[in-house]
Chain A
Amino acid sequence: MSFAPEIRRGEVTIRHLSKSFTLNGRPLPVLKDVNLHIRSGESLAIVGASGSGKTTLLRVMAGLDEADAGEVLIDGKAVRGVGAERAVIFQEPRLLPWLTVIDNVAFGLETRGVSREEAKTRARRYVQLVGLQQFENAYPRQLSGGMAQRVGIARALVVQPEILLLDEPLGALDAMTKISMQQELARIWRDEDVTTVLVTHDLEEAIYLADRILILPREKGGEPRLIEIDMPRPRDRSAREFVRHREELLNLFGLH
């Protein structure tokens, strides 16, 4: 069997990935032989019941946790720890409270050795991109939850990652802010050339944003499933196809 994939930027291959934690002295298997290929520029959503291992999978991809077996390849190279081609957006914005909005956005550039001025200039563009130009000099405590999360998104985008890893980035927001942020994310992903992996609890969010949805099984030993969302963008939440996908997902979770 010949297997010679053409390697492009921001491509993720996960091979036979397994990981378990230890709970009360006994092993707790979380991920069992996960295999997945994420295309360059694709947006993949990961959904699954609480505790199904979504965060764990994302953290392994981020290089924050190590797998017990198997590997994650990025652009054909095995992941060892964190890397400049990946950026993570966590559920909490994780802003540095002593830095202003613009300095928070510039943070990831400065840690990688970009000069302060250059970093600030580049950061300014992304502060604008997320619509916070008026708040450039505000401190995180002066921002609402949604605004703070947008700063986090700008901070991740400004380093121009090939792969953006998001762990329930909108989970803590109210329904209306959430929808407008989803639209914003959809717009940003259209403009920025980036592969995105989005962990979410929100099925509608997954259908709205993703090209494909990975459903992690509820019970261990079950097979992960993938469904393709082939809909034009921007997507219409009330379109028949959208509703059909929602029902399909609800059925998969036994909730219909």
Chain B
Amino acid sequence: MTLENVNPPLTTNFRLASAGRTGVTMAPRLRALIGPLLSRYGLVLSFLVLWQVSSSQGWVNPAVFPSLDVILAALWDGIASGALLDDIAISLQRSGIAFASAVAIGIPLGLFMGQVKAIEQALDPLLQFFRQTSALALYPVFILLLGLGETSKVFVIFWATLFPTLLSTIGGVKEVDTKLIEMARTYGAGRLTTFRRVVLPASVPAIFVGLRLSATTALLLLIAAEMIGANKGIGFQVMNAQYNFQIPLMFAAILLLALLGLAANAVLVLLQRRLCRWSQPSP
């Protein structure tokens, strides 16, 4: 074998490549479109198909695992009749208020605590202690203090939701590259300017990690709170439907929760993309 055979001249290489490109047919283009989708959602799809087939073929007990069309029908009934809408509304309200307050308090407090070392050091043990104490374990305490109404429910969700955002924000601020802060100082930036132009933008990615964790936590605690002493809400419907053996409705409510979680995450991801365009690989 000669060297030329091993290393064909570059020009031939180019010609081959471009010939391949001009000869594009529909099939590879379609494959290029479906390929990534399949690799991303293939497993989810297989799971759904498996569910549907095993339920309709009687591989599993359809009374416990109803087929997808039955679940979707139950969901549609619940929404069309308005029965589930109330639950959705109240659940959104509870988790929404809690999440919004957690963010409104967590981010500013985190930004402040991350910058002022003395305060951070004084408060950190307390934060760690609270964080390690399950919010659910504290729920009875909140009920005792705030009654069994809306306030205690929203508060327990708020409590659990606060920590991911707060701790991520503190972490983000503390991680800011001191070399960049020093650079800003050489250009005459004072404390406020440095905060606004360096510390804050540098912390945004970490803050979003916290926000996404908080959103997940908010939904988690929502269900828990609604399962204990509520008579409305998606979490209540899951329990109630199971109790009354309305299994399709139970799964419909679970599906609704999953969709809610996905939607919340999608909104946050979108917002992050907009705010952190600088850290994304170019499209």
Residue from the list A84, A92, A99, A108 in contact with B179, Cβ < 8 A: A92
On whether A88 and B188 interact (CB within 8 A), knowing A141-B279, A142-B282, the answer reads no
Interface residues of B (CB under 8 A from A): 179-180, 182-189, 193, 197-198, 201-202, 204, 276-279, 282
Contact B179 A111 (CB under 8 A): no
Contact A96 B279 (CB under 8 A): no
Chain A, 126-170, contact with B by CB distance < 8 Å: what is the 0/1 string? 000000000000011110000000000000000100000000000
Chain A, 19-59, contact with B by CB distance < 8 Å: what is the 0/1 string? 00000000000000000000000000000000000000000
Residue from the list A64, A112, A141 in contact with B185, Cβ < 8 A: A64
Question: Smallest CB–CB gap between B235 and chain A, Å?
Answer: 39
Within 8 A of B (CB), among A92-137: 92, 94, 96-99, 107-108, 110-112
Residues in chain A near residue B183, CB distance under 8 A: 88, 90, 94
A173 on the B face (CB < 8 A)? no
Residue from the list B179, B182, B187 in contact with A107, Cβ < 8 A: B187
Residues in chain B near residue A108, CB distance under 8 A: 187-188
Contact A111 B193 (CB under 8 A): yes
Residues in chain A near residue B189, CB distance under 8 A: 111
Residues in chain B near residue A99, CB distance under 8 A: 278
Residue of A nearest to B198 (CB): A96
Residues in chain A near residue B182, CB distance under 8 A: 64, 94
Contact B197 A96 (CB under 8 A): yes
Q: CA separation between A94 and B279, bound complex, in Å?
A: 16
On whether A90 and B179 interact (CB within 8 A), knowing A139-B278, A159-B187, the answer reads yes
Q: CA separation between A139 and B279, bound complex, in Å?
A: 9
Residue from the list B180, B188, B197, B279 in contact with A82, Cβ < 8 A: B188
Contact A87 B278 (CB under 8 A): no
A62 on the B face (CB < 8 A)? yes
Residues in chain B near residue A141, CB distance under 8 A: 278-279
Question: Smallest CB–CB gap between A118 and chain B, Å?
Answer: 16
Question: Smallest CB–CB gap between A65 and chain B, Å?
Answer: 11
Q: CA separation between A221 and B187, bound complex, in Å?
A: 35
Residue from the list A64, A96, A159 in contact with B180, Cβ < 8 A: A96
On whether A112 and B201 interact (CB within 8 A), knowing A94-B179, A98-B276, A98-B278, the answer reads no
Residues in chain B near residue A88, CB distance under 8 A: 183, 186
Residue from the list A87, A96, A110 in contact with B186, Cβ < 8 A: A87
Contact A112 B278 (CB under 8 A): no
Residues in chain A near residue B187, CB distance under 8 A: 87, 107-108, 111-112, 159
In this complex, how many residues of chain A approach chain B with their Cβ under 8 Å: the count is 24
Contact A62 B282 (CB under 8 A): no
Question: Smallest CB–CB gap between A6 and chain B, Å?
Answer: 28
**5 A-B pairs in the complex with CB atoms less than 8 angstroms apart:** A82-B188, A87-B187, A90-B179, A111-B197, A112-B188
Other contacts beyond A94-B183, A97-B278, A112-B187: 13, CB < 8 A: A62-B186, A82-B185, A82-B188, A84-B188, A86-B186, A88-B186, A90-B183, A94-B180, A98-B201, A110-B197, A111-B187, A111-B193, A142-B282
Question: Smallest CB–CB gap between B186 and chain A, Å?
Answer: 5
Residues in chain B near residue A87, CB distance under 8 A: 186-187
Residues in chain A near residue B279, CB distance under 8 A: 97-98, 141
Residues in chain B near residue A94, CB distance under 8 A: 179-180, 182-183
Q: CA separation between A115 and B203, bound complex, in Å?
A: 25
On whether A96 and B179 interact (CB within 8 A), knowing A111-B184, A112-B188, A141-B278, the answer reads no
Residues in chain B near residue A92, CB distance under 8 A: 179
Residues in chain A near residue B204, CB distance under 8 A: 98
Question: Smallest CB–CB gap between B246 and chain A, Å?
Answer: 51
Q: CA separation between A17 and B168, bound complex, in Å?
A: 44
Q: CA separation between A141 and B204, bound complex, in Å?
A: 17
Residues in chain A near residue B277, CB distance under 8 A: 139
Question: Smallest CB–CB gap between A169 and chain B, Å?
Answer: 13
Residues in chain B near residue A64, CB distance under 8 A: 182, 185-186
In the complex, the 7 A-B pairs of residues with the closest C-beta atoms, listed nearest first? A108-B187, A98-B278, A94-B183, A111-B189, A98-B201, A111-B187, A88-B186
